[in-house]
Amino acid sequence: MTDRIRDYLRARRDLGQDEGPVMVLDLDVVRDNYTAFARALPDTRVFYAVKANPAAEVLRLLAEMGSCFDTASVAEIEMALAAGATADRVSFGNTIKKERDVVRALKLGIRLFAVDCQAEVEKIVRASEAAGIAAGEVQVFCRILCDGAGADWPLSRKFGCEPEMAVNVLEHAHRHGLNAYGVSFHVGSQQANTEAWDGALASASEIFRECALRGIGLSMVNLGGGFPTKYLKQVPGVETYGDAIFRALTKHFGNRIPETIIEPGRGMVGNAGLIEAEVVLVSKKSEAEDEVRWVYLDIGKFGGLAETMDESIRYAIRTDHDEDRMAPCVVAGPTCDSVDVLYEKNHYPLPVSLSIGDKVWIEGAGAYTTTYAAVAFNGFPPLAQIVI
């Protein structure tokens, strides 16, 4: 918890406004994170993954600092532009786009698009024509599959294609007059293994070579996100990732290192945010001596902590009693939904003195919380956010 967040929460409590959970996000931490990324990878352009936290204050700060933006929808493109980013600093990074949304994006000035199949290439070709924009001005990069080993938030095969297919997708784009710009991949979110980029960069360099043989000069590798934030476990610093990525780039591309992009989301805002919540109930299911405690908070899976799904993300939960004896608990949310349980397979240690009405602080909650919250499940409002 930063001093600024502590002061804010104290003032909120003094005013008697501490009803319901709130996520407080400290922009100073975001500023430091951006600076750390820029320093760790000085030749790489930073595209902030807007989906992690699209708060206008965050986007404005990053736009001022020179960040670019990776967006998932036309709404996110509009937010990035409204925050002061010029269109040449915004990519439409979703491989699943409606053709009419591609037209909208092109009309908003966007020229950089992700694809992972020929059908998506063809949408962009038709959309360029519809928007009256020369295909050659439009850059596409093809996403390839990555196994995601070492990442806490599971990576499926949802995005990307096999590297052999990527060559054909890029050739398809090239033949239709688009600018076949490069390759992207994602090593999985909350990736603790700094060497995870090595295998994907080997595939990327192979695609560069194969495309060159077909007369297509690729120039960019999008290294994706995956940079972790600190939850309970320690994670390596950004500079360690920077070093590992630079080594892998040199290993696979020699002295012809391509233009690079990173897309941090969690790593940019995760540790900037903290949720204050309240203990609603502490109870047991039977009167047996060894029965485990259930601790129910006023925030759960549907109120912003969706990433506890399958207990993937294990947040650090702090209390005012952390000096006391700890005992394992089941931690659950406040809704009448039986799946709204945060930690049960792996019990969570909390102080035995923790009581109904106590506040708890959930750290590392700046990313993937506010926008994940359900609109009104069980009548509970979505997670409030305060940016300071």
Candidates 153, 227, 231, 315; binder of its own copies (CB under 8 A) is 153
Residue 362 token pair: 């959930």
By CB under 8 A, tell whether 98 contacts its own copies: yes
Catalytic residue among 68, 117, 142, 336: 336
336 catalytically annotated:
yes
Candidates 189, 190, 222, 260; binder of its own copies (CB under 8 A) is 189
DSSP string over 123-185: HHHHHHHHHT--GGG-EEEEEB----TTEEE---SSS-B-HHHHHHHHHHHHHTT-EEEEEE-
Give the residue with the Cβ less far from its own copies, 197 or 296. 296
Query: Cβ contacts of residue 91 below 8 Å, gap of 6+?
Result: 47, 68, 69, 70, 71, 110, 112, 113, 114, 261
| Buried/exposed 130-149: b ≥16 CB within 10 Å, e otherwise | eeebebeebbbbbbbbbebe
Give the residue with the Cβ less far from its own copies, 6 or 13. 13
By CB under 8 A, tell whether 382 contacts its own copies: yes
Residues 253-312, interacting with its own copies (CB under 8 A): 278, 280-287, 294, 296, 298, 302, 306, 309
Distance CA 67, CA 83 (A): 11
By CB under 8 A, tell whether 138 contacts its own copies: no
Give the residue with the Cβ less far from its own copies, 244 or 306. 306
- Using CB under 8 A as the binding criterion, the count of chain residues that bind its own copies stands at 82
Residues 30-69, interacting with its own copies (CB under 8 A): 49-51, 54
Give the residue with the Cβ less far from its own copies, 159 or 246. 159
By CB under 8 A, tell whether 94 contacts its own copies: yes
By CB under 8 A, tell whether 13 contacts its own copies: no
By CB under 8 A, tell whether 119 contacts its own copies: yes
By CB under 8 A, tell whether 193 contacts its own copies: no
DSSP string over 85-114: --GGGEEE--S---HHHHHHHHHTT--EEE
Distance CA 177, CA 136 (A): 5
By CB under 8 A, tell whether 348 contacts its own copies: no
Q: For residue 77, how far is the Cα from the chain centroid?
A: 16
* Piece in contact with its own copies (CB under 8 A), picked from 5-13, 201-209, 359-367, 368-376: 368-376
Distance CA 61, CA 32 (A): 11
Other C-beta atoms lying within 10 Å of the C-beta of residue 23: 25
Residues 222-251, interacting with its own copies (CB under 8 A): none
Give the residue with the Cβ less far from its own copies, 58 or 249. 58
Annotated catalytic sites, by residue?
A: 336
